[in-house]
Structure 1
Amino acid sequence: MEQQGNSRAGYAFGVGVYLVWGLVPIYFKLLDHVGAIEIVAHRIIWSVPFLLLLLALIGRIGHLRAAMLNGRLIGTLAVSAVLIAINWLVYIYAVTTEHIVAASLGYFLNPFVNIALGTLLLGERLRPAAKVAIFVAAVGVSILAVSALDTLWISLTLACSFGLYGYVRKVTEVGAIEGLAVETGILAPLFVIYLIWLAGNGGLDFARFGAPTVGLLLGAALVTSIPLMLFAAAARRLTLTTLGFIQYLAPSLAFIIGVVIYDEPLNWGQIVCFGLIWTAIAIFVADNYRAARKRRAVRTAPV
């Protein structure tokens, strides 16, 4: 794989965000008594004031204003906003209906979407060892897919929506915070209307279950915004192929959480897939380490 575009900061952002995302199912499982669409509505609506406050504190409101005056940029971010909204809706549905393992499969599949987009659209190249790693991982994911056909739509929707979102954000010239502020700002009015309609029909859960639920729904803004800002920063500093393999941290954690903590059923296909996925990751990491050592050796060799 071509390493141009990878940086230490990119690796730090990438590892950090995927560790956080791997633990997120625990948070949203606490809200399984609230409707999935309402949870997403609160994620988006409360993210807007949080992001505006953050931009004001770091002195970047002017950057946001400039972004909002760029018609082409707004159009691109509208596309990414729709993609991330679809991803959130399906993900929350999966977590709150005891399909965390299916959601983890979606994020096991997502790196292949990243790799396909990176090689086809961005000209990223794969070294032989990376191709072997992809093949091993593909075998594992295929086995898992066959063993979970009834929830495969969840997995495929999550994989494709987030893969395309990552591509759009990678090629969009906008800061991580400003971009997310525009995305949530585009989506927020639609979900405000939805919550008003829900309240009018007696279906709003926001205050029905007391202060803990209110606090969790408000806190969803932080759980939503901070990881996405880290992700956007990582996407700008890493190739999509590298980002794809780091991503396996999140579904692996989610997979373990679904099986160990929430006792979701585990079959032989899932066990085999888990082993093959981590074998592929080990191949990929070892190959990157060898390549990095060679580059350092070339830079430090006497002329």
Structure 2
Amino acid sequence: MRLPIPRCDNLMTSTQQKQGIYYALAAFIMWGLAPIYFKLIDSIGALEILAHRVVWSFVFIMIIIAIKKNWHKVQSIFKQPKLLLMLLLTSTLLGFNWGLFIWAVNSGHMLDASLGYYINPLFNVLLGILFLGERLRLFQGVAVGLAALGVIIQLVSFGSFPVIALGLATSFAIYGLLRKKMAVESLPGLLLESLVLVPFALVYWFFYVDSASADLTVNNWQLNILLISAGIVTTLPLLCFTAAAKRLQYSTLGFFQYIGPSLMFCLAVMFYGETVGVDRLVTFGFIWSALALYTWDAIRSSKTKKKSN
């Protein structure tokens, strides 16, 4: 009796999926724990940290592209003026998102940042319908409606509006939509987005920052390492995310994106003393319900497709 020999392509697919899961876990855990890093340097102003994040991300990405010898991919972008204009827009969105996130974390609004990244996948669904011609399934529509209802109740009943959360969710969702429509790879695109922001970051750093930490030559080495590490904190999870996206289905990858905001929520409540007020609790409740329904519908739809195939 001969034992069935597993096909090489099936083994390769299984190995790639496992690798993809590890990369996805690494990416979203790093994003979820990123507030710990920013809290370590919360004595420094948000704009100064943003300047370091832009500059050192640019340096770190340049090193990676040099190692991978991908300069030809960067050069090809310069031959496409429309693409360069789009990258100018996405760099603005990215800079705004980075700056708002740093300010939110270091100003005691980590729960709002968490809420923003919980809302983000639902915003992605909405933008997919409006701009990519994607159809909304029944339960997806209910999920988006629940999220909207949670925000409306917070606004009407409690007189507060989740500005930070919606700012983060909107900027990152629009950024993702534009990057999805652009024929440019992640790293070369991110390098040029950083390049657009670098002059502004350097001008602010050298001429407008009025703090003792602005001069690296007088800082202690521990602080300088923390500031330079902004590039690694920014780029490393993105590299893992890109690797995961190549190995996993986009729907599968979506299930991992709740790790980040969940870790932020736990950090905010358990370690950094933020309180979940009634208004936030109501909004979080609606968002969590919407995400649970959205996830259930995605699993159900995936199973249906497998059966039909």
Is TM > 0.5 for Structure 1 vs Structure 2?
Answer: yes
Deviation at 1:255?
Answer: 1.9
Please, what TM-score do these two structures have when normalized by structure 2? 0.81
Higher Cα Rg: structure 1 or 2? 2
For structure 2, which runs of at least 5 residues remain unmatched after alignment? 1-15
Deviation at 1:92?
Answer: 0.9
Moved more, 144-153 or 126-135: 144-153
> 107, 116, 123: which one pairs with 2:126?
116
Q: What is the match of residue 222 of structure 2? A: 212
Number of aligned residues? 291
Q: Distance in 2 between matches of 1:65 and 1:226?
A: 23
> 142, 150, 169: which one pairs with 1:159?
169
Moved more, 283-292 or 107-116: 107-116
Moved more, 13-22 or 28-37: 13-22
Q: Distance in 2 between matches of 1:155 and 1:284?
A: 19
Q: Distance in 2 between matches of 1:184 and 1:8?
A: 31
Q: Distance in 1 between matches of 2:308 and 2:114?
A: 40
Deviation at 1:148?
Answer: 7.4
SS at match of 2:273: coil
> 76, 79, 100: which one pairs with 1:90?
100
- Structure 2 CA distance for partners of 1:169 and 1:243, relative to 1, 3 Å: farther
Q: What is the match of residue 66 of structure 1? A: 76
Deviation at 1:24?
Answer: 1.1
Q: Distance in 1 between matches of 2:131 and 2:268?
A: 35
Are residue 22 (structure 1) and residue 64 (structure 2) matched?
A: no
- Structure 2 CA distance for partners of 1:119 and 1:83, relative to 1, 3 Å: same
Aligned pairs (5 A) from 1:113-192: 113-143=123-153, 152-192=162-202
Q: Give the residue type in structure 2 aligned to 1:164.
A: I
Are residue 106 (structure 1) and residue 116 (structure 2) matched?
A: yes
- Structure 2 CA distance for partners of 1:8 and 1:137, relative to 1, 3 Å: farther
Q: What is the match of residue 274 of structure 2? A: 264
Q: Distance in 2 between matches of 1:166 and 1:146?
A: 30
Deviation at 1:284?
Answer: 2.1
For structure 1, which runs of at least 5 residues remain unmatched after alignment? 1-6
Q: Distance in 1 between matches of 2:272 and 2:308?
A: 50
Q: CA RMSD in A?
A: 3.1
Identity of aligned residues (%): 37
SS at match of 1:32: coil
Asked if structure 1 preserves the Cα contact closer than 8 Å seen for 2:205 and 2:214, the reply is no
Q: What is the match of residue 33 of structure 1? A: 43
Asked if structure 2 preserves the Cα contact closer than 8 Å seen for 1:68 and 1:182, the reply is no
Moved more, 120-129 or 13-22: 13-22
Q: Give the residue type in structure 2 aligned to 1:290.
A: R
Deviations 1:179-203 (A, max 9, x none): 001100111111111111036x555
